[in-house]
Amino acid sequence: MCLLASQLWLLSRVLLLIVDQWVPQHDLHRFSYRLHLAILYAALAPEVHPQTPGILENLIHVHHLLFRLIYPNVQITPKLHYYLHLPSILRRDGPTRWICCLRYEAKHQRFKELFLEGNHLNPCKTLCQREENLQALRFVQIPGQLPPDVLADVEFSQLIVLPPQHPLLQMVLQMHAAPLNGLALCERATIDGTLFKCNRCVVRVHGPQPEFVFLTDIITNGVETYFHGELMQVIGFRDDLQLYEVAHTLHQRLTHVRHCATVQALMLWREGNRLFLSDRTSDRSFF
């Protein structure tokens, strides 16, 4: 497959949903792919449950046996053996998501581009200096505030200043002990480099059970940011698709950004009338 790693990550998450109508459930190849996907989710989970490495060992063992069974003539690659070391790495180093090369290689891309157009006398110094200048430009323009690109998003989206008696403002004040000034509604905001849009994306809230909030309002004053939206009802974890099936409810939920478990804006994927979420923190789906 001539796909980039990020493309393959997306394709693997969505492939079972796409081929669900064509490939029967009892197909062993589909079952093997599902196991492989479960291994990927466990390896890329931001948090690791203490029982996960043990379960992952069994998953890998079963997957490799099944792989040998259904692809008897396919040569085994060294990469498949490397899987066996993943549980011990999870135990020793924690979530392997945070030592993954994916983002580092993407960041390295920028340095390679700069290197081609810059001078070659002292490339290390030049690259570091340019990167520092760029970061400084982002953060130092307004000291004590969020980076300018965040403010630009907040400023350029539709801003609605909340009146003192607005129910959303009252809810925020109940959550936050100290009074907050200049709270306003906006439709989109960039937080830690991730763009969140109202009426388009879902965030996951910290808790023992998976809770998802479909964003309808983002409340911010440039320092503190709150998400407000509908609480999604989790119908169940579809094991054959490795996706959460969810539905809209009328319950409202207000949460601070810090209490959101996900670092990504989750997308709602729809097939017919059903809604699905590919949650990358689905570590607990094993239990």
Partner 1 sequence: MLDDVPFFDLITMAPQDVMHVILEGGLAHETRLFIEHCVAMQYFTLDQLNTAIQDFDYGYAERSNRPSVITVAHIQAPVTTLGNQKGAPFSLSEYNLLSRFNILDDLMFFRGWCSKKKKKLLCVC
Contact letters for partner 1, residues 171-190 (x by CB under 8 A):
--------------------
Residues in CB range of 37: below 8 A, 6 or more apart: 12, 13, 16, 242
263 binds partner 1 (CB under 8 A): no
* 203 forms part of the interface with partner 1 (CB under 8 A): no
Per CB under 8 A, the list member of 111, 115, 237, 269 interacting with partner 1 is 269
Contact between 26 and partner 1 per CB under 8 A:
no
Q: Quick one: which of 25, 77, 119, 273 contacts partner 1 (CB under 8 A)?
A: 77
Nearer to partner 1 by Cβ, of 248 and 270: the residue is 270
- At 123, give phi and psi (nearest 5°): -65, -35
Residue selected from 30, 91, 130, 284 as contacting partner 1 according to rule CB under 8 A: 30
For residue 246, which phi and psi values (nearest 5 degrees)?
Answer: -130, 170
Residue 183 or 188 with smaller CB distance to partner 1:
188
What is the β-pairing status of strands 194-197 and 160-161?
unpaired
Element (H, E) at 26: none
66 part of the interface to partner 1, by CB under 8 A: no
- Residue 98 beta carbon to partner 1: minimum distance, rounded to whole angstroms: 10
Q: What's the number of CA atoms in the CB half-sphere (13 Å) around residue 52?
A: 28
Q: State the nearest-atom distance from the C-beta of 171 to partner 1, in Å.
A: 27
Among 114, 151, 180, 195, binds partner 1 (CB under 8 A): 195
Q: Is 269 in contact with 33 (CB distance < 8 Å)?
A: no
Q: Do the Cβ atoms of 224 and 166 come closer than 8 Å?
A: no
Contact residues for 141 (Cβ-Cβ < 8 A; gap 6+): 148
8 binds partner 1 (CB under 8 A): yes
Question: What's the closest the beta carbon of residue 191 comes to partner 1, in angstroms?
Answer: 13
Q: How far apart are alpha carbons 71 and 149 in whole angstroms?
A: 50
Instruction: Give the Cα separation of 287 and 107 in Å (integer).
Output: 35
- Which stretches of the chain bind partner 1, using CB under 8 A? 1-12, 14-15, 18-19, 22-23, 29-30, 32-33, 36, 39-40, 43-44, 67, 71, 74-83, 85-86, 89, 92-93, 96-97, 99-102, 105, 194-195, 197, 200-201, 264-270
